[in-house]
């Protein structure tokens, strides 16, 4: 009997200590204390923490993948007069759009407007690049069909879970600048030697061009940065993309339903790819079919949900050009400003906000 009492008391103390560490360190940012940076460090976490900031009261929120990330808040505010946050993040899919807005509506004053950049490949049955919502517990709950009791049970079990305790300890170690995965001396020596013999190339993996041979800045075509790598990446994305995912379509429509219920105006636009990339993808065959599917599906939804719809699949559709690209799949801030102008053509301050040609 004494053994059982000691065992139970020890178990209770351990569970209590685990719960206390998990609660106050809060590695997944699901409890009130926010003293430490969460364990998750993905791009979605960055967007969510920006929305969560106490001073954040956006009237307009931009959603989408990295292809929508260059719609600068200052440009949007110039054209609309609305305080805003760009919550786009790399590899986003409709389940991520929906989870972000559902969280925002529950925890903050709902925005008055959403701008959603729609990637054609975001509606794959199994997005090869993957959404990151499942790695952020306070968003993941919006994707699961759970009732209140199930949510409370999940919260309780998470509070005493070893997985969360492990991440809490990693957060504490990071806060104290402790490296939990130090590189062995032999590995460090090897890496140093390799880097000395074959130094890393610059970000675009391009061969350095002597300054005298470089084109003038005003004619430098940034769309040509690593075109082969971008083409290979997007061919992989679209390979085998034979139909739109019913699950992703459902999440997207759930977003529209939530916006309608909260009287949030929605502007949707198909994100831009460089015409050179589209030519290659057209030969592969999947992109043109899915582009037609997404376009037709959004047009079908429009009468029901009353959103504004813009097809910006190529830069000519919004008055852009093929030069102002970061790479073949991402327009830069100048083309993005032109896209904003196309969505807000009647803005009173359009003349002073227009990007330079």
Residue range 245-266, pLDDT digits in tens:
998 999 999 999 999 999 999 9
Predicted confidence (pLDDT) per residue in 306-357, tens digit: 999 999 999 999 999 999 998 999 999 999 999 999 999 876 677 778 665 5
SS3 320: coil
Is 256 part of a structural domain of the chain? yes
Q: Is the dihedral of CA 140, 87, 64, 327 positive or negative?
A: negative
CATH number at residue 59: 3.40.50.1110
Alpha-carbon distance of 235 to 132, in angstroms, equals 22
Alpha-carbon distance of 297 to 291, in angstroms, equals 10
For residue 327, give its domain range: 42-155+222-353
Is 86 part of a structural domain of the chain? yes
Is 69 part of a structural domain of the chain? yes
Is 206 part of a structural domain of the chain? no
Average pLDDT over residues 145-173: 64
Q: What is the pLDDT of residue 204?
A: 38
Nearest to 277 by CA among 237, 311, 241: 237
Looking at the chain, the whole-number percentage of residues with pLDDT higher than 70 is 73
Alpha-carbon distance of 153 to 110, in angstroms, equals 28
Is 65 part of a structural domain of the chain? yes
Is 27 part of a structural domain of the chain? no
Is 1 part of a structural domain of the chain? no
Number of domains in the chain: 1
Is 57 part of a structural domain of the chain? yes
């Amino acid at each position: 009997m004494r053994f059982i009492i000691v065992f139970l008391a020890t178990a209770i103390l351990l569970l209590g200590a685990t719960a206390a560490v998990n609660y106050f360190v809060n590695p997944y940012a699901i409890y009130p204390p926010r003293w430490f940076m969460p364990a998750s460090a993905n791009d979605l976490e960055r967007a969510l923490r920006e929305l969560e900031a106490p001073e954040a009261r956006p009237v307009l929120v931009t959603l989408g993948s990295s292809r929508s990330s260059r719609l600068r808040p200052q440009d949007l505010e110039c054209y609309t007069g609305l305080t805003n946050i760009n919550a786009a993040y790399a590899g986003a899919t409709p389940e991520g759009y929906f989870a972000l807005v559902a969280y925002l509506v529950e925890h903050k004053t709902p925005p008055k407007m959403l701008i959603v950049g729609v990637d054609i490949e975001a509606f794959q049955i199994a997005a090869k690049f993957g959404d990151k919502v499942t790695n952020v517990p306070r968003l993941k709950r919006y994707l699961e069909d759970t009732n209140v009791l199930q949510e409370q049970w999940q919260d309780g079990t998470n509070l005493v879970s070893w997985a969360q305790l492990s991440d809490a300890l990693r957060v504490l170690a990071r806060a104290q600048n402790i490296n939990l995965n130090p590189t062995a001396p032999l590995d460090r020596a090897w890496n140093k030697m390799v880097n000395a013999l074959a130094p890393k190339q610059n970000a675009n993996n391009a061969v350095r061009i002597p300054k005298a041979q470089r084109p003038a800045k005003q004619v430098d075509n940034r769309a040509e940065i690593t075109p082969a790598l971008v083409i290979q990446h997007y061919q992989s994305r679209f390979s085998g993309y034979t139909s739109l995912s019913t699950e992703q379509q459902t999440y997207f429509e759930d977003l529209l339903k939530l916006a309608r219920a909260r009287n949030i105006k929605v502007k949707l636009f198909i994100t831009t790819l460089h015409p050179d990339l589209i030519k290659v993808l057209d030969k592969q065959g999947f992109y043109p079919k899915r582009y037609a599917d997404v376009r037709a599906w959004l047009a079908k939804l429009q009468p029901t949900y009353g959103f504004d719809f813009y097809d910006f699949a190529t830069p000519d559709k919004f008055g852009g050009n093929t030069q102002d690209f970061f790479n073949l799949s991402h327009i830069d801030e100048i083309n993005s400003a032109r896209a904003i102008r196309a969505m807000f053509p009647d803005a009173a301050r359009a003349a002073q906000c227009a990007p330079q040609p």
